Amino acid sequence: MRTLTVELGPRAYPIHIGAGLLCRPELLEPALGKGPVAVVTNTTVGPLYLPTLRETLQAMGREPVVIELPDGEQYKTLAAIEQIVDQLLAHGCDRSTTLLALGGGVVGDITGFAASVYQRGVPFVQIPTTLLAQVDSSVGGKTGVNHPRGKNMIGTFYQPRAVLIDTDTLKTLPEREYRSGIAEVIKYGLIVDQGFFNYLEDNMDALLAQEPGVLAHVIEQSCADKAWVVAKDETEGGLRAILNLGHTFGHAIEAATGYGTYLHGEAVAIGMAMAADLSRRLDLLRESEQSAIYRLIKRAGLPTAAPALPVADYLRYMRVDKKAQEGRMRFVLLTAIGEATITGDVPEAAVIEAIQSHME
């Protein structure tokens, strides 16, 4: 097992990574308060992993309240928060309750948000079961739900007490979801960690095969890279925005094609290819580095080509991106593999060329 710490002063917390961690009461114990424990999960993950987690809690003398939500991004709404609050109240859960989020990023975001507002805030623990949640959404303290007018429009910054990553849970994750998570892994190499990018070049096949040592290292390094960025800029005053590499293009692809056509990581992969292309067009990035980026994305089985939609559609969605300031698009670009920069100063013609050159 490996443990790293997210250094946030009084809000610092451990991330434990390894196989079989759902069966380790001693990792859970320090994160739980004296009061009730409530597990929030969904109808897919609950049947797979709740029995093991429940047994571990029972061995500690804790019988959890279980709240099972329907599975899907479309249920990441305020209605889910109300449902959680209803059930917590029905079970007499007071301010000493700890919430455990067992599931992917959707369950994690909902549970974290519920924990941040239930009786003005109760502790929570992330137990992420998708690769994306293990390397990205469970770390950093962004929580929230969607509004009919936009994704993640309601939320809080609220850090968990601990993150427990049991790598065994990935064995049941659909292959496409797993590859989608690898896009965010590649992102860390691109924005802050050239050594990690090189490691991924050498070990992509082992990663795809979920070779235990490689998998644990990749999750640990991804969490470490994200935790480093978050520790420097917890509430996204500046630096944290580099975590959005490929996301301005990616969100436009997801929105313009209708959410669900592309998985998030697939859209981000195309977006990172576009961002690399734009960086090279602006003479920030070398062509050989751009090629290496495309090669690695493709080896992960991820796309680099975008759907052929009118460029105006892309631009429209990109302008409403949360990073846009006063309607001006802002881009995370690369000056090298492992070095990102944020700029609002990009000629629109170059953006259009970058998009068009990726259309299928």
Q: How far is the CB of 155 from ligand NAD (least distance, A)?
A: 8
Q: Whole-angstrom Cα distance, residue 200 to residue 193? A: 11
Q: Which of residues 250-289 bind ligand NAD (CB under 6 A)?
A: 264
**Alpha helical stretches, state H, 91-193:** 105-117, 131-132, 175-192
Q: Whole-angstrom Cα distance, residue 301 to residue 2? A: 28
Q: Whole-angstrom Cα distance, residue 231 to residue 253? A: 30
Q: Which of residues 187-246 bind ligand NAD (CB under 6 A)?
A: none
Q: How far is the CB of 191 from ligand NAD (least distance, A)?
A: 15
- Our CB check for ligand NAD shows the closer of 176 and 319 to be 176
- Our CB check for ligand NAD shows the closer of 51 and 344 to be 51
Yes or no: say if 339 and 279 are a contact pair by the CB < 8 Å rule: no
Using CB under 6 A, which of 11, 14, 23, 44 touches ligand NAD?
44
Active site residue 34: no
The 8-class DSSP code of residue 328 comes to B
- Our CB check for ligand NAD shows the closer of 45 and 269 to be 45
- Our CB check for ligand NAD shows the closer of 112 and 338 to be 112
Asked if residue 126 binds ligand NAD (CB under 6 A), the reply is no
Label residue 351 exposed, middle or buried (CB < 10 Å: 0-12, 13-18, 19+).
buried
Per-residue interface string for the shown chain with ligand NAD, residues 308-337, x marking contact by CB under 6 A: ------------------------------
User: Cα dist. 344→240, 270, 331, 333, 351 in Å?
Assistant: 16, 21, 6, 10, 12
Task: Write down the catalytic residue from 179, 251, 281, 330.
Answer: 251
Q: Whole-angstrom Cα distance, residue 178 to residue 132? A: 8
Active site residue 11: no
**Ramachandran region, residue 274 (left: φ > 0; alpha: ψ -120 to 50; beta: rest):** alpha
Q: How far is the CB of 103 from ligand NAD (least distance, A)?
A: 5
Task: Write down the catalytic residue from 16, 161, 179, 240.
Answer: 240
Q: Whole-angstrom Cα distance, residue 252 to residue 32? A: 40
> Residue 269 has which token pair?
């992969």
Paired residues of 156 in beta bridges: 143
Yes or no: say if 337 and 293 are a contact pair by the CB < 8 Å rule: yes
Q: What share of the chain is helix, strand, coil (3-state, %, to 5)?
A: 55, 20, 30
Place of tokens 């659909």: 174
Task: Write down the catalytic residue from 16, 142, 280, 358.
Answer: 142
The 8-class DSSP code of residue 169 comes to G
Q: How far is the CB of 206 from ligand NAD (least distance, A)?
A: 20
Handedness of CA 249, 224, 167, 41 (dihedral sign): negative
Task: Write down the catalytic residue from 161, 244, 323, 358.
Answer: 244
Total residues contacting ligand NAD by CB under 6 A comes to 27
Per-residue interface string for the shown chain with ligand NAD, residues 135-174, x marking contact by CB under 6 A: -xx--x-x---------x----------------x--xx-
Using CB under 6 A, which of 18, 36, 64, 104 touches ligand NAD?
104
Q: How far is the CB of 345 from ligand NAD (least distance, A)?
A: 27
Active site residue 247: yes
Using CB under 6 A, which of 133, 241, 252, 293 touches ligand NAD?
133
> Residue 149 has which token pair?
């007018």
- Our CB check for ligand NAD shows the closer of 142 and 330 to be 142
Using CB under 6 A, which of 76, 281, 323, 330 touches ligand NAD?
76
Residues binding ligand NAD (CB under 6 A):
42, 44-45, 48, 71, 73, 76, 103-107, 109, 129-130, 132-133, 136-137, 140, 142, 152, 169, 172-173, 177, 264
Q: Which residues are catalytic, by number?
A: 120, 142, 184, 226, 236, 240, 244, 247, 251, 264
